[in-house]
Amino acid sequence: MANSDPDKLIAKADKLTRLSLTRWSADWRNATALYEQAAIAYRLAKKYDKAKDTFEKASRGQEMLSSPWDAAKHMESAAALAKDLGNWNEVADLYKRASELYIESGRAQPASDALAKGARALEDALPDEAIRLYTDACETLEDDGKEQMAFDLYRAATNVYVKLEKYADAATFLLRWALAADKCNATHSQCKAYLSAIIVYLYAHDFQQAEKCHNDCCQVEAFLNSDQNRAATRLLSAYTDGDVEEIKRAAQSSIISNLDHVVSPIFHMNISIKKKTFDSD
Amino acid sequence: MSVIDILFRVDAICKKYDKYDVEKQRSLSGSSDDAFARLFASFEEQIETTLHKAEMAMTETNRATVVAMKAEVRRMKARLLDEVPKLQKLAQKKVKGLSQEELEIRNELVLALPERIQAIPDGSTSAAKQTGGWGASSSHKNINFDSGLDVISEGLDLLKNLAKDMNEELDRQVPLVDEIETKVDKSSAELRNTNVRLKTTLTKVRSSQNFCIDIILLCIILGIATYLYK
């Protein structure tokens, strides 16, 4: 049976599921098994679109059999194949459906993983959709109380925002990250997130916002007494004075170099831009 | 005989037996040959007198005398300092019969002279000058210390950041590891259970003698069958 043509398997499975006069209830168990075999065969034969469709059918079969976990797994496989095919809208839908099924089976971590995979696949093609998926993934984890796992997602989302040059959104997201870090008492990550937000505002040449952000962050005790606050104060005072050398020196400090790889190269670019604006002034 | 008579007579005797005074002869002979040695000797002498005067100034109670003595000391110090370059020039000159080491020693002595002269307390700004001197030399050392400390502090900052990141990463891993632990405990309990059941089943079958006899008989039958069919 395993060696037979996948088309034949599918035809057989379809017959099992189609209701007619002779068949009063669909035999989902056998049908699902046939669908799975067919899908794997298609994948081996590199017929990705057919494999994707078959996986979707297999997933539906598993749903009927009340096993959302297997259904979600099949959906994920289908989504991965859709990614290979380049059907971006389908990718987003399939991954979302997969994560819903995971949540149904009570497992939040794989749900957010599915959304994250989808977002990563869509970063280049549909960045807005990717950001939406990342946000949903973060929310899923936060609902389940696992904010610690969300840090990587926050970082990836910030990366996408910065690539899209949506700096205000990036800074807001960083502040959300800081909130999540606060909930799980990760003070170091929290302070790093605050400092990154201030730097992103400065990069967007929005000095008032940066100042406001800094004032808000100083309300938080953990940030107030941290090294990051010192670096931030130094940086802001260097900006107010307009001293390019001082800004450069502040940037060389290890605190800023230790920030995420997303923010730290921004910062070095920022210095060169600032220098240009000062030279032109 | 009066005291003065005694003094005169002692002087006469000393003059007569001068040739047996080793030190004096040495200094006399030295002074005749080496200009450096001569000058150096005179320098030493003057420094000694200045020091002596300074000490007296410190023990003197009369203020006016103290002031006069200190002024005298300062004047002598200034004069000595002016003559040090002359001595330095002489020290550089090579003299017949003088080894290289002695030349170096002379140079060092000359270099040490200004410090010695300065060290003579004239009560004016000696303390301040001393600490000033100390400050100048230590600020140079301080700069070296500061740059070294800066490097160390940068390294420590880096270490601190790394350590904090590691801390948070481990905090993240803790609940995951707990989950793994519960799952592994469950699996190992199930495995143990299965093993016990397997063991009981096997012993039930094995311990009976029939099992071995069954196997032997089965082998014999198979052998006969093969023989018959071959």
Give B42-81 pLDDT, tens digit per residue: 888 888 888 888 888 788 777 777 777 887 888 888 888 8
A37 touches chain B (CB under 8 A): no
Tell me the mean pLDDT in the region B157-185: 92
Give A35-85 pLDDT, tens digit per residue: 888 888 888 888 888 888 888 888 988 888 888 999 999 999 999 988 888
B169 touches chain A (CB under 8 A): no
Predicted pLDDT at B215 = 87
Answer whether 0.80 is exceeded by the pTM. Answer: no
Please name the residue of chain B whose CA is at the shortest distance from the CA of residue A145: B175
Q: How far is A188 from chain B (nearest CA, A)?
A: 7
Structure tokens at A41: 């065969």
Q: Is 60 exceeded by the pLDDT of residue B39?
A: yes
Q: Is 60 exceeded by the pLDDT of residue A276?
A: no
Predicted pLDDT at B62 = 76
Q: Is 80 exceeded by the pLDDT of residue B34?
A: no
Question: How many angstroms separate the Cα of B81 from the Cα of each of A105, B117, B123?
Answer: 97, 7, 18
Predicted pLDDT at B195 = 96
Q: Is 70 exceeded by the pLDDT of residue B193?
A: yes
Mean pLDDT, all residues of chain B:
81
Predicted pLDDT at A1 = 44
Q: How far is A227 from chain B (nearest CA, A)?
A: 9
Indicate yes or no: CB of A258 within 8 angstroms of CB of B171: no
Give B88-98 pLDDT, tens digit per residue: 887 777 666 66
Q: Is 70 exceeded by the pLDDT of residue A175?
A: yes
Structure tokens at A109: 């971590």
